[in-house]
Structures are given as structure tokens and as C-alpha cells.
């Protein structure tokens, strides 16, 4: 394993452990990743994100391991799973899969290892301490970022 990818994986595992052991029952988690992560080198596979989702949601809302592995290997949503609705906050990036369980949401989108500022910051601006997560977010702030500014992990 590439040394930088190994370090990223260790950091992600530490973050997952911290999230799983958090005692705040009002925690709100919004995970997102690109379907190509881990396939083109330089990033951790998006399977890590789906397994992290499984660690913090109730048993009945977890994703089957067979689904996660098939999704990663084929880079396409396995048969029998519902495609996500279009999300205008993702701009030209197609949301492929989304699952919500109470205050936790996971999104897999078509793109590269990047930050979707419009989606992330508009979502964050709607959240309030001590309240349930707000998942239906319309754009209230237009953010002008360049393609280069969206690249993460550099």
C-alpha cells in the first residue's frame, strides 16, 4: 500500500473510532464521497465511508457488506437499490446513492476526490445545535469556487 494512502486510512480509522464513541446523542453526520475514490490512486476507497456509516446507524439501517463491495468493484449501484434523487446543490455532479438514518446521511456522487462546497456549506448553514438534522436544503448561498479549489487531498 502506498505510504500516503496508508496514512490517510489510519486517519480515517481514527476519525471513525472517534465518531462511534461520541457520547453526544444529538451528533449530526453528513458523509459524502466520490464513486471513483480509491480506483484512480491517491485516495481512500469510498467503501471506508460506507462502513463508517454502518458503524453509527442502527442495525436495521446498515448497508450489507455485499452491497458495499459490489458497488465499489463495479462503480455502479447494484440492482435492487434505489438511485438517489437529483440534488441541485451538487451542480453538475450526479448523486448516485444516498441513504439517511436519523441524524446521519451518506452520499456517493459522480466526481473525483473533491469538496462540493455548495452542498457542504449550504447544508452546514442550516444545522442548529441540539436540533435534528435538516436534510432538505435549498441553496441560500451561492459560492464561487474554481475547479482547482474543489480538489481535496492535495
Q: Where are the domains of the chain?
A: 3-14+25-150
pLDDT in tens, 61-73: 999 999 999 999 8
Measured CA distances, 146 to 29, 39, 115, 118 (Å): 26, 24, 11, 12
* 90 neighbors 119 (Cβ within 8 angstroms): yes
Cell 491517491 locates to 42
Number of Cβ within 10 Å of residue 37's Cβ equals: 22
* 50 neighbors 106 (Cβ within 8 angstroms): yes
The torsion region of residue 145 among left (phi > 0), alpha (psi -120 to 50) and beta comes to beta
pTM for the model stands at 0.72
pLDDT in tens, 112-149: 777 788 888 888 888 888 888 888 877 666 666 666 65
Amino acid at each position: 500500500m502506498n505510504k500516503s494512502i496508508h496514512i490517510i486510512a489510519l486517519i480515517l480509522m481514527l476519525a471513525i473510532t472517534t465518531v462511534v464513541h461520541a457520547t453526544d446523542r444529538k451528533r449530526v453526520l453528513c458523509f459524502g464521497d466520490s464513486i471513483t475514490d480509491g480506483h484512480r490512486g491517491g485516495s481512500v476507497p469510498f467503501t471506508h465511508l460506507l462502513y463508517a456509516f454502518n458503524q453509527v446507524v442502527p442495525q436495521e439501517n446498515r448497508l450489507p457488506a455485499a452491497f458495499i463491495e459490489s458497488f465499489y468493484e463495479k462503480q455502479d449501484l447494484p440492482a435492487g437499490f434505489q438511485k438517489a434523487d437529483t440534488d441541485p446543490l451538487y451542480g453538475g455532479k450526479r448523486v448516485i446513492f444516498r441513504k439517511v438514518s436519523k441524524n446521519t446521511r451518506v452520499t456517493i456522487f459522480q466526481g473525483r476526490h473533491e469538496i462540493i462546497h455548495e452542498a457542504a456549506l449550504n447544508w452546514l448553514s442550516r444545522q442548529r445545535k441540539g436540533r435534528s438534522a435538516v436534510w432538505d436544503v435549498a441553496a441560500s448561498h451561492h459560492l464561487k469556487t474554481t475547479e482547482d479549489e474543489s480538489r481535496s487531498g492535495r
